[in-house]
Amino acid sequence: MEEQIVCYSCGEVLKPFDEWRCGRCGGPGVVAYSREFSVSKIRQHEKNMWRYRDFLPPSMRKHPVTLGEGHTPLVHAPTPNIYFKLEYLNPTGSFKDRGTAAMMTSLRNILGNLRGVCEDSSGNAGASVAAYCAFMGLPCVIFGGGSMVSEKVLQVRMYGAELRLVEGSRQKVEEEAVNYAERNGLLYVGHTWNPYFIEGMKTVAYEIAEQTGWNPPDIIYLPVSAGTLLLGLIKGFRDMVEAGVLEKIPRIVAVQPQLNA
């Protein structure tokens, strides 16, 4: 099956990186392609998330844009039967680097040269996109909320991106980013809607399964805000169940602070 972006809700075929949500029903796009997870096809010599590139969309399988993301340790806690996945050891300090690396790889392989990109973020994703744009030599504009913590403000600017802070709701920040990109000829790569970003998140599931000898935990707790990691984990574990590598998807518990906006 040829790689396509299709609307999850109505099945409409969308243009990669051009339509970031369905123009007919407003639904999110997903990457549709032929895939089959196989333990024998893991690239054992690659000590990053790209060891699983053959299970990602074809647009990600060559010339990866990488800063060494993924392959983070799974460490045993003092309490029996509890493990921690150390995603803060990714290049910019969060799991968002997996999604950004996947997204930017497909972007470069599909579209080629760009004038620059625009992203909206509350912190981690903005820092990640800024870092990978710096690595690629791409101009980058990040839109963040007025409450973005100072450490993330510094990190985004440290990578050379332009940061614009917007007072108001998360939706308003997104709207400002989309409008700015359209006015200035930039590509909007909002990670909460970009289907290629979520494909990169699948590699967390692959790693957990491989690191536990294909016997993953019964329950996985993960932080959630927009839900990209949650969706990626489910998709990754589903790939392995459909391939017969695992018997079932672990129970996944999404955790978010009570007062999170």
Please give the residue range of the domain that contains residue 246. Answer: 65-261
Decide if 14 contacts 30 (C-beta within 8 A): no
Q: In b/e form, how buried is each residue of 42-58, taking b as 16+ CB within 10 angstroms?
A: beeeeebbbbbbbbbbb
Is residue 90 assigned to a domain? yes
Is 202 part of a structural domain of the chain?
Answer: yes
178 occurs within a structural domain: yes
pLDDT averaged over consecutive 10-residue blocks of the chain (261 residues)? 90 87 91 93 97 97 97 94 96 97 96 91 93 97 92 96 93 94 94 94 98 97 90 97 97 82 47
Written as six digits, the tokens of 137 are 């030599």
Q: How many domains does the chain have?
A: 1
Domain contains 12: no
The CA distance from 152 to 145, in Å, is: 11
The model carries a pTM of: 0.94
pLDDT score, position 261:
47
Q: What is the CATH number of the domain that holds 173?
A: 3.40.50.1100
Instruction: Output phi, psi for 108, to 5 deg.
Output: -65, -40
Is 261 a domain residue?
A: yes
Instruction: Tell whether 195 is covered by a domain.
Output: yes
pLDDT of the residue at 108: 94
